[in-house]
Copies of this chain bind each other. A is one copy, B any other.
């Protein structure tokens, strides 16, 4: 399983760098290239630290394309100064995405402001921000990708909790400006997710497809408890098939936040991701 032929089944696989947070950007570029990957997903903080132009060259020279940049968003503040700062920061994120050559900026839209119970108002402020940023992004070849986050993040990270909500927001704007992210970790429990994927496909809104598994018990704060592919409750193959049926033939990005993976050798983690991807995501042989 190590010849070039065997590698062809990795054509769509993208490794989000948070999965191997222990790797520096050069280690990531080298490690992914060595493992036969063609794509990576990047995060703003490590890219800024390394230098955006330098990071773009680094991954390009390693033969990798950037499938998405995480993340813009946090649009729900109510005060004008905070809102203006969020818009400025998102314009910078769009510029960085364009420099990295990715067409997808993933958005974590923001939770409820402190003391607020107004979910509807917060969602409306997201729409206002999308209206501001959509044209700016599209002019630079970047699409804003609304990521519905699991409902357990609704108060503190993202008031967009379902794919239907994300599409309700996205569809208020042109498809080349605003799309949605299908992340199995956030959507696996929802019996309307399949219908949402179909709807996203029909409207040309399926901007990114990300994988992580759902494992319990959840850790305190519930942020760093994502499971390695195959370790949990998610029918990953079903999601791959359904997104394909909806027309998505682009990258499949693996994004797992888990300190147990970060404590291991990065190359070993990537090899495991690849093996699990073959076993649980690709068609059964």
- A contact residues vs B (CB 8 Å cutoff): 112, 116-120, 123, 150-152, 154-156, 159, 161-162, 165, 188-191, 214, 216-222, 232-235
Which listed residue, B112, B123, B152, B232, touches A155 by the CB 8 Å rule? B232
- Is A155 a contact partner of B220 (Cβ separation < 8 A)? no
CB <8 Å contact, A218 and B152: yes
Q: Are A117 and B216 in contact (CB under 8 A)?
A: no
Q: In the complex the two chains form, is A189's CB within 8 Å of B233's CB?
A: no
A119 and B189 contacting across the interface, CB-CB below 8 Å: yes
Q: Cβ of A218 and Cβ of B222 under 8 Å apart?
A: yes
Nearest to A151 among chain B residues (CB) is B189
Given contacts A150-B151, A151-B152, contact A117 B234 (CB under 8 A): yes
One complex includes copies of this chain to the number of 2
Instruction: Out of B118, B120, B156, B190, name the residue touching A151 (CB < 8 Å).
Output: B190
Chain B residues with CB under 8 Å of A112's CB are 233
Asked if A154 meets B189 with Cβ closer than 8 Å, knowing A112-B233, A234-B117, the reply is yes
B161 touches A190 (CB 8 A): yes
**Chain B residue contacts of A234, Cβ below 8 A:** 117
Which residues in B have their C-beta under 8 angstroms from that of A155?
189, 214, 216, 232-233
Additional 16 contacts, C-beta under 8 A, given A119-B235, A161-B190? A116-B233, A119-B189, A119-B191, A151-B151, A154-B233, A155-B189, A155-B216, A156-B217, A159-B189, A162-B190, A165-B191, A216-B221, A217-B221, A217-B222, A218-B218, A218-B221
In the complex, which residues of chain B have a beta carbon less than 8 angstroms from the beta carbon of A154? 188-189, 214, 233
The distance from the CB of A198 to the nearest CB of chain B, in whole angstroms, is: 17
Residues of B within 8 A of A162 (CB): 190
A249–B119 alpha-carbon span in the complex (Å): 26
Q: Which residues of B contact A217 (CB under 8 A)?
A: 156, 220-222
Docked CA distance A119–B218 (Å): 19
Docked complex Cα distance between A108 and B66 (Å):
44
Distance (whole angstroms) from the CB of A233 to the closest CB of chain B:
4
Closest chain-B Cβ to A95's Cβ sits at a distance in Å of: 32
Given A216-B155, A218-B218 in contact, is the A233-B190 Cβ separation under 8 Å? no
Assembled-state Cα–Cα distance A188/B151 (Å): 9
11 A/B residue pairs, CB under 8 Å, sorted by A: A112-B233, A119-B191, A151-B151, A152-B218, A154-B188, A155-B233, A161-B190, A165-B191, A217-B220, A218-B218, A218-B220
Q: Report Cα–Cα, A190/B234, bound state, in Å.
A: 21
- CA of A152 to CA of B162 in the docked complex: distance in angstroms? 13
